[in-house]
Amino acid sequence: MVDSLGHEKTEVMSGEEVKFNFSFFYSGKTNSLQIGIIIYQSGVYLIGIDSLIDGFKISVDNETVKGMLKIPHMSLTSGKYTAVLALTDGGRFLLRGEPIDFTVVAKRIYPGIIDIYHEWDLITNIKNLSSEQAEQ
C-alpha cells in the first residue's frame, strides 16, 4: 500500500488517498482475469473491491501484469486492518497474495467501521418547533 506520492505506508489517515500496487506474471492466455482486493478487520470480511464487478476487463497472454487500485478517500475509521490481493480466471482461483496489515487513524471518533461521506442540511429552524413537533 502506498500514499498519493508512492511512498509505502502501513498507517494512513481516514480520508487519505491510498493505492494498492500489484505485479505478477500470468502464464497463459485469458480474457477473464479478475483482480480483487479484500479488506478484513480482526478476520471479519469488510469489503471486496473487484475488477470484474467494476467493469475493468483484463486480457493477458503470457505476460507480466502490473497495475494499481486507487482509493481516493480511505473511508475506514480508526483501527487495524488487513488487505489481501486475490486473482481468479473465469471463476478458477489462482492466487491469494500475502496479507498487508495497515492502520487507519481518524481525526474524529465515529461509531462503526466505515466513515460514509454525508452532508447535513437543516430544513427548518428547530428552535421554533414545539417539543411534539421536534419528535416527529
Per-residue pLDDT of the chain (136 residues), as tens digits, is 887 788 888 999 988 899 988 888 888 888 888 999 999 999 999 999 999 889 888 888 888 888 889 999 888 888 999 999 999 888 888 889 899 999 999 887 767 777 677 667 767 665 655 555 555 5
Cα–Cα dist 41/79, whole Å: 8
Superfamily assignment of 2-135 in CATH?
abc- transporter (atp binding component) like domain (2.70.50.60)
Give the model's pLDDT for residue 75. 86
Residue ranges per domain, the chain?
2-135
User: pTM score > 0.95 for this model?
Assistant: no
Give the model's pLDDT for residue 38. 94
CA dihedral over 41, 100, 10, 52, signed as positive or negative: negative
